[in-house]
Amino acid sequence: MVNRVLASPKGPELSELVQGYWRVSDWNLSPQERLTFLKQHIDKGVTTVDHADIYGDYSCEQLFGEALKLDRSVRNHIEIVTKCNIKLLSEKYPNRKVKYYDSSAEHIQHSVNNSLAHLGVEHIDILLLHRPDVLMDADEIASTFAELQKSGKVLHFGVSNFTSQQFDLLQSRLSSPLVTNQVEINPINFSAAEDGTLDQLQQYRIHPMAWSCLAGGEVFSGSSTQATRLRITLEDIKEEIGAASIDQVIYAWVRRFPSKPLAIMGSGKIERVQSAIESLKLNLSREQWYRIWTASKGIEVP
Ligand SMILES: NC(=O)c1ccc[n+]([C@@H]2O[C@H](COP(=O)([O-])OP(=O)(O)OC[C@H]3O[C@@H](n4cnc5c(N)ncnc54)[C@H](OP(=O)(O)O)[C@@H]3O)[C@@H](O)[C@H]2O)c1
């Protein structure tokens, strides 16, 4: 069963597993097939979906919107997370000379309006600043967020890939609490657990959203010594805990952080979603958890 959880003490409610749509442009699905996939994961309890304006060279929100248009009632059963502030080099923006970040009021407003139009919805449940931007002005962002909330275009705000200091700086100027920090967490890269990011979220009782839990597939296919070591350990633990696959062991490992990350799944295959759901009943002992830590680092804890 996929539980509903409060992302932060005052909400909003999300599903404990989230479906990511970064790769939807690679799935080669028709609008009807996209709708079927969406309905299938909603029926299983995965109601929160993760997007960004830039995914698929600015195409993924539109692909999702095309599917939603086929059955408008589906909007009432999902929570949409999307992001802004990265400006990609793209043929769609021929005058841009470099990839950069833009957290100005003008760009955030513009990006939200585009996301609403592409998704074909009237509001975004959670808007995240995608990356920390050294030029971001917390006061300007605070007034922009307040306007977006007042207009009903965005219900809640969060950040992604922020350090704990950047999180506190922005929060200090906002009138409503940030509800998440979406960060990379997987057995290959869990720096967020070591640089204070997850500690801060535990302190504030905010669930991190965890991206690339399977390291984008690297855990399965990587040829580095680290990935090879990890696969051996994950296979051993899979047998010990009666998991069906090593991805289930990884999801159990990610869930074990005391900040209780909400894992974002990246596959468009419903059987992989089902496998992640089944992993929710699995638990790792501390020793098993640290065996994966050790396999990742290649050394024992100090
Ligand atoms: N905030 C950020 O900066 C940020 C950055 C990156 C991603 N994200 C979000 O996080 C979501 C998840 O990221 P992700 O797509 O990198 O997640 P992921 O789950 O780590 O990687 C998904 C990839 O792994 C492959 N895979 C999954 N299970 C597999 C298995 N058992 N064997 C072999 N390959 C397997 C998938 O292939 P198949 O498609 O063949 O299943 C897919 O290519 C994204 O959709 C996006 O919403 C956020």
Distances (CA, A) of 129 to 39, 89, 210: 28, 18, 15
35 within 8 A of 2, measured Cβ to Cβ: no
- Measured CA to CA, the distance from residue 130 to residue 160 in angstroms comes to 5
* Cα Dmax for the chain: 56
pLDDT tens per residue across all 302 residues of the chain = 999 999 999 989 999 999 999 999 999 999 999 999 999 999 999 999 999 999 999 999 999 999 999 999 999 999 999 999 999 999 999 999 999 999 999 999 999 999 999 999 999 999 999 999 999 999 999 999 999 999 999 999 999 999 999 999 999 999 999 999 999 999 999 999 999 999 999 999 999 999 999 999 999 999 999 999 999 999 999 999 999 999 999 999 999 999 999 999 999 999 999 999 999 999 999 999 999 999 999 999 99
This prediction's pTM = 0.98
Q: How close is the Cα of 24 to the center of ligand 1, in Å?
A: 11
Q: Which two tokens stand for residue 61?
A: 């929100």
Q: Give the residue, by CA position, lying nearest to ligand 1 atom 47.
A: 20
Tell me the C-alpha distance between 148 and 123, whole Å. 10
State the pairing for strand pair 13-15/4-6: antiparallel
For residue 207, give every residue at least 6 positions away whose Cβ sits within 8 Å of its Cβ, in sequence order, or none.
5, 6, 7, 8, 14, 180, 201, 259, 260, 261, 262
Identify which of 46, 190, 272 to mutate to test ligand 1's pocket (most ligand atoms within 8 A of the CB).
272
H helical segments located in the chain: 31-43, 55-58, 60-69, 105-119, 138-150, 164-173, 197-204, 218-221, 225-241, 246-255, 270-278, 286-297
Label the pairing between strands 100-101 and 124-129. Answer: unpaired
